[in-house]
Amino acid sequence: MNMTEFEKIILTEIPNLHKIDVYEQHGGYSALRKVLGMTPDAVIDEVKKSNLRGRGGACFPAGLKWSFMPKVSSKPKYLCANGDESEPGTFKDRQIFEYNPHVFIEGALIEAYAIGAQMVYVYIRGEYKKWIDLLQVAIDDAYQKGYIGQNILGSGFTTHIQVYRGAGAYICGEESSLMNSVEGGRGYPRVKPPFPAQSGMWGCPTTINNIETISNVPAIINRGWEWYSKIGAPKHPGPLLYGISGHVNKPGVFELPTGVLLTDLIYNYCGGVKNGKNIKAVIPGGSSTMWLRGEELEGVRMDADSLKAVGTSIGTAGVIVMDEDTDVIKVLTRIAHFYHHESCGQCTPCREGTGWMEKILRRFLAGEGTLQDIDLLLDVANNIEGNTICALGDAAAWPVQSVIKKFRGEFEKRAKKSPSVTRYVKPPHLVEVTAV
């Protein structure tokens, strides 16, 4: 697709779009009006055909997920909107709350109508106090205008939107943990099945989608699935909010079609690498995704299938760029510290394994790692992957596996030649905590 034809639908250039009257002047809430005259099944069908896929990390087809909700239910049904946004390298949902909260609210109302939810919980990380307040203003305005609440626009459909503030826990972005958090408990992930559509909030049918996923819906309804499905990569279409950070000149969030060249993002949109340096490594989709070496970037496109083909994933499209001077073991240790800190502790492989990985990596930083430690580290990672209740375990293992695979030489250079002496290293929560 020609970039000059691309029209942004979420982070548009329209000034003051966060105000409800400006949003309305630009066609806002017309998709909601249209939907209220359709059957819920027709709405789900439209979203299915559009091929919209989840923007929260797993790329699950949104329409298909909605269709899992029971049509008839003696229990209430719920929608949870996931604004936990805690994956390192990810800072996009925040832009929606700030610049275009109504496109999210309208999308959430449409989804609630399609799945028959009488309540929408918007879960937002506790640190985002400012953005919670901004969204609340928008919600209050939408209530005032009759878009939310009893008998919306005289249609007979009733739903509410309630913001729920998290309190500092990455794991609460995991969907079942999020539901436990909204129920007022510790954010422990649940064993699946049952899936949320069968048994979610208080055991009732629930659907969970990311904030950005939901924000794509009004345009699909207004312009039709055919228009939407032609944007970007055919199997993973639509506009995408790419967040680029690290060693680039102009970091930020860019709304572009899926499938742009990674090198285009870095060199054209972000003004290249700081101080004109070369790239050593790139994390393509948030800290949980497998790394790419600088030499591997040519021709790589940013969509689900293209990244899968090169052994990694799109994740949250949070790209982190590292220049040639980066100490990759130090960065990996920081990531390992993160997963160890955020593990909820329910599963032994994750609770213990994330700590072991951090410990071994710290040995390398201290010049105490050995050649055997490289394989031990890999072994620990391999034993976490696939053996846990939720995907945090995998997310902790993948970066370690990929960095050993791609930068084994760095470990070997750093390794002490004599065999390792096992020594006690205080777990990080007992020492004065300095992450790295």
Partner 1 sequence: MLSEENLKKIEALKPRFQTTQALTLPVLWMIQQQHGWISSEAMQYVAQLLNVPVSHVYGVVTFYTMYNQKPVGKYHLQVCTNVSCMLNGGGELRDHVCKRLGVKLGETTSDNRFTVTEVECLGSCGTAPMMQVNDDYFENLSLEQVDELLEKLN
Ligand X SMILES: Cc1cc2nc3c(=O)[nH]c(=O)nc-3n(C[C@H](O)[C@H](O)[C@H](O)COP(=O)(O)O)c2cc1C
Q: How many residues bind ligand SF4 (CB under 6 A)?
A: 14
CA 260 from centre of chain: 18
- Residue 137 or 167: the one with the smaller Cβ distance to partner 1 is 167
* Residue 390 touches ligand SF4, criterion: CB under 6 A: yes
Considering only residues 37 through 76, tell me which ones interact with ligand X, judged by CB under 6 A: 54-58, 60
Member of 108, 221, 265, 347 binding ligand SF4 (CB under 6 A)? 347
Closer CB to ligand SF4, residue 369 or residue 399?
A: 399
For the segment 147-176, give every residue that binds ligand X (CB under 6 A).
Answer: 171, 173-175
User: Residue 27 binds which entry of ligand X, partner 1, ligand SF4, none, with Cβ cut-offs from 5 to 8 Å by kind?
Assistant: none
Residue 186 interacts with partner 1 (CB under 8 A): yes or no:
yes
Q: Taking CB under 8 A as the criterion, which residues in 94-133 touch partner 1?
A: 94, 119, 125-130
Residues in region 184-213 near ligand SF4 by CB under 6 A: 189
Q: Which is nearer to ligand X, 56 or 116 (CB)?
A: 56
Confirm if 389 and 176 have CB atoms less than 8 A apart: no
Q: What does 209 interact with, of ligand SF4, ligand X, partner 1, none (CB < 5 to 8 A by kind)?
A: ligand X
Residue 159 or 306 having the CB closest to partner 1: 159
Q: Which does 55 bind (CB under 5 to 8 A by kind): ligand SF4, ligand X, partner 1, none?
A: ligand X
- What residues between 56 and 95 interact with partner 1 by CB under 8 A? 85-91, 93-94
For tokens 């919306």, the residue is 152
Q: Residues 392, 397, 400, 415: which binds ligand SF4 (CB under 6 A)?
A: 392
Residue found under tokens 């099945």 = 193
Q: Does 388 bind ligand SF4 (CB under 6 A)?
A: yes
Q: Give the C-alpha separation, 83 to 184, whole Å.
A: 17
Asked if 253 touches partner 1 (CB under 8 A), the answer is yes
Which residues of the chain form contacts with partner 1 (CB under 8 A)? 85-91, 93-94, 119, 125-130, 160, 162, 164-170, 181-187, 201-202, 243-247, 251-253, 283, 287, 318, 320, 322, 326, 330-331, 334-335, 338, 341-342, 432-436
Which residues of the chain form contacts with ligand SF4 (CB under 6 A)? 171, 189, 343-347, 350-351, 388-390, 392-393
